[in-house]
Amino acid sequence: MTVATGAAVTGAGASGGAAPVVELVGLTRSFSGSPPVQALAGVDLLVREGEYVSVVGPSGSGKSTLLHVLGLLDRPTGGDYLLDGVPTSATSEGRRAQLRGGRIGFVFQQFHLLPHRTVLENVLLATLYSGVPRGEREERARAALERVGMGHRLHAAPTTLSGGERQRVAVARAVVTGPSLLLADEPTGNLDSVSSAAVLDLFDELHAGGLTLVVITHDPVVSARARRRVRISDGLLAEV
């Protein structure tokens, strides 16, 4: 294992020439308190288009903090984060929201589907601010749900679905806008092994289709499916 302080964690191999999607440069995130916590302690990371990366690490190592920064849900306290080459750290909240909505898809452990909306409506809502007309948005939502094998449950309430089905709907919602980056935080944390395998198969398909994936997990089975593994420990990254 190589310690990544000072040297960029760049990955290697097949994606070497592809455009950078994520570039973290000396990134820090501290929380004030006594004592203050440096949840990210100077992180360098380069993820190129089409890569499938897992980030593994124990509880408290900084995984969620990293995901929130990558998802533009939180700002770093130091360093920079370029998404698709666009600097984001000192950018206005409005512009960050626009980048988040247009370029990032999220999959969370708890699915976060709206319980009083149908499956189709949940996916449609993600396209609301895309500027695309309603008819075409609906077509895309249906296509995304077909793609995850949920085209037969368009009008179901999420509460009537199994965990695995809910997570497949959440994946459809994450990809319907055609994001540059799919971020997943413990995506199989609430699933049985069969449903987990189905979600991981779906990630493989999305990867094969050219999507860039960063999956945060403490599960070795999930981590093993990624093509590249990065370990986080005490707010620092290292290639595994």
Q: Enumerate binding residues for ligand ADP (CB under 6 A).
A: 31, 33, 37, 39, 57, 59-65
As a whole number of angstroms, the distance between CA 66 and CA 81 comes to: 11
64 lies in the binding site for Mg ion (CB under 5 A): yes
Q: Strand 78-83 relative to strand 86-87: parallel, antiparallel, unpaired? A: antiparallel
47 forms beta bridges with: 22
In single-letter form, the type of residue at position 147 comes to R
Nearer to ligand ADP, 62 or 158 (CB): 62
Nearer to ligand ADP, 5 or 160 (CB): 5
Burial class of 120 by CB neighbour count within 10 A (0 to 12, 13 to 18, 19+): buried
Nearer to ligand ADP, 104 or 119 (CB): 104
Please choose, out of 56-64, 123-131, 154-162, 227-235, the segment that lies near Mg ion by the rule CB under 5 A: 56-64
Nearest approach, Cβ of residue 216 and Mg ion (Å) = 8
* Cα 233 to Cα 5, 6, 169, 204, 218, distances in angstroms: 12, 15, 32, 26, 12
Q: Which does 60 bind (CB under 5 to 8 A by kind): ligand ADP, Mg ion, none?
A: ligand ADP
Nearer to ligand ADP, 172 or 216 (CB): 216
